[in-house]
A and B are shown apart, each in its own frame.
Chain A
């Protein structure tokens, strides 16, 4: 056996501790807010307290006269300069959207919208002066309920003439992917099972750990922008497009970024305004939002209303699913706001073989903070809907929740499988994941205990929740994005530089904000090039260092960016071959690459990559027949999505006296394909579970009747901590993806997508015999208790 065969698994699969953790965990690193430049000025924003109003006057005189104030700017001052913020996804050609200014000029459409800014010598002076700005508003009736918004009875943007941004639909009969759902519904009504259900996906706040911060250094040569963003490459392009600065003169750096969860997949008003302030003053400028501003004005997530109709036979075979959706865009369209429900539209069939499917989605504007991507982005909503329905179907049929799923899911021998929603699932093994979960969970024992508690009338009831999910990861094939109306592509880029001292620089176009790319990409390259893990440095997040890239979101980094890294590594090996032949005085055909070394077959003669890199650096012995450079670039457009899946089982105890829910055990078995670093995968699963459970039990952005965000601090917006969560049992099965070279799938969103329905299903299962068939999210003790009161009456 040669080392070639041993190497590929040496690093890939190794649960290495993350290279980046020491600096991230201690905070001794370059967060944007830590950056201090000579002569730097500070910004403070004045934000509208009203959800919907006309600005009638702004008095900035006192602020302008205040200590340390350099400039005060209102929307009127920068109306021509600020341009409009972009939305990058028209889900239908006729999509409507109001002009989205970075700073409101005469109309505010949500509480938190910026109406003025102060530029001052320090942050305290900027804040003090902001308090002195007096804005006169004429309040307008706010549009707050998404269903009411859809009726156009009152308008969020009177000038737009409607609240409806777009209506998008999919029908399996007309798409040729399946049958007619209306026929299935009629048949079920005549002699089958019909389940109708309305679900409110509450509004959530991404609540990343590091509030957003921007520093801009304007020099005549270059506009350098540091931003706590997931998407530095997007920010660069949009600064150019919106503010008219040549793209070649813009450098955007995302230094270490403390979380995003989709919340920093955005081009923000604050970024535009900080650039404007820097351009106008000619000085470096910084804006760092407070937590209150972050919760109020950074984009929100979810917020959909779902009306579902599931048709099935009396035996529990699903025959069709009809989905009517209203999605709250909030006040404006952000980068991909309108496409969030669309990303879910392909997932309502979950892991099942539905013969018919119809979805109609209406995107509406309201006078609330705009929504956009939040961990899972459309897929959690879809998965929740179908997994709640499958539990209801099981209850109707009188079957076990796992058995009803097995009856309907795609069998492992049926892959690749063309779904009713029009996707091609390349691989999967739902039987294996479910069997493993069932065993780890001690499913049968818990069912027995549940029965016992029901029979004894125990005030604390036990419930078991099932969630079997799949999701589309690896966003995305550019041609698919194009066909869906997205303006950008889905490719990714990587470069590898072989340094003379034997070190390797890997440059990735993905932009980590906690995911551990530096470690994982090093593991991939170490295996491929046969160089040491510690000899590899991964560079990212700076458009001058990594000029090509499309950043990090949608569980794409490994499946797309990681594969670009792999492709670049293969090119390095390819480029090294003729050089090695020259230096080793051998025929190219006699060379073989293994264990990081080109050797001449049948001899001891050979050179390592480090030796080759040094020889190329010297150039002394190269004859010019091959390019004297080992460095290589690769751009990779994914062939298709990848489809992680898994089975999650949750046991909850519901205290029927108080309505309190506590999670007793939680088992997740995820199939994310080949795993590069199991420790990173486990971390992603844990974090994802916490966020998904948070939607089920804790988090909700609540507005009062005037449109003010009531849950505007962490006192009301309850982000759970480790004290509020159980110990998770996590395990994996491994069915390699066939859509990429390594067989990886993606794990960033899996936990969030799977866990919410598992928890809610468990709660309903615990108290179904007490007359409860649903509890709205978040399932607070109060809501569970109320459902129990109502159940007792019915």
Chain B
């Protein structure tokens, strides 16, 4: 029996076309021959798969026919859970929104970076200490060469090198205490003060109060002699807006007078320790005294706002007093006795200046 004949026999057997005798014989054959038995089962399984395939295909066709009757579109509308429009906006566009947000943030950071926002302190605020190196060097060199000899001979064997920074300071007491800004003397290796007549003395920093931008120096030079009693006093109370004020300082090598008025009771970024003053000031004015009409010191010039016309700032005198109070007593070897008698009140402005300028010093700071 070849394959073809066997196949026919199996089909007849499975479809029940065999007579009873044939069937019995085939059953016996199946029992005897495992190979035939296997082929019968395989054939039956395969035909079963074909039938299943057909059944499923027909079922799918029926289901498709039913499905076509359904109005899917309106059903969809009805069944979609509509989230609020903002959620939908986010779902549909979140990638675009994210990109836009990143660009915006980047642009903002870049702008802040290029405008110098991240550089330590506010760029709008300019501290008024003077960078001396450039032009001081040439003049001092000249001084050095011409006066070196005389200087050497004349007692003090002091070699004057160009100072790195400059500012202004004023006497707190007659015995050599001088007030200036902290930012003028910070990082200083040595500090010299020079008075209006050109005498230069070495000074030591005895106390600093960076929070108020106040520094206290003491002249510790043997050539220094105590001055006459101070003509001015420190004002303890707050001054009023609109008050006429003036300053004298060293924005250059000679003393310079500046006049203005008190324009706000708070300083840069609403700093309550400072006044805003409308007054012409320049680098080098830092640390200078701010006086009112009667010759009371009401503040210390400390800086100005670079983007605003005529806005300078001055540390209030009450904070200077606080700084003096905060000073540990062991850092002073001569007692600080504040002057309490004002001799300027009745004088004209020009006479006031004449007196005050003796007590205003140019501060020269040397550092590596």
Q: Do A and B come from one complex?
A: no
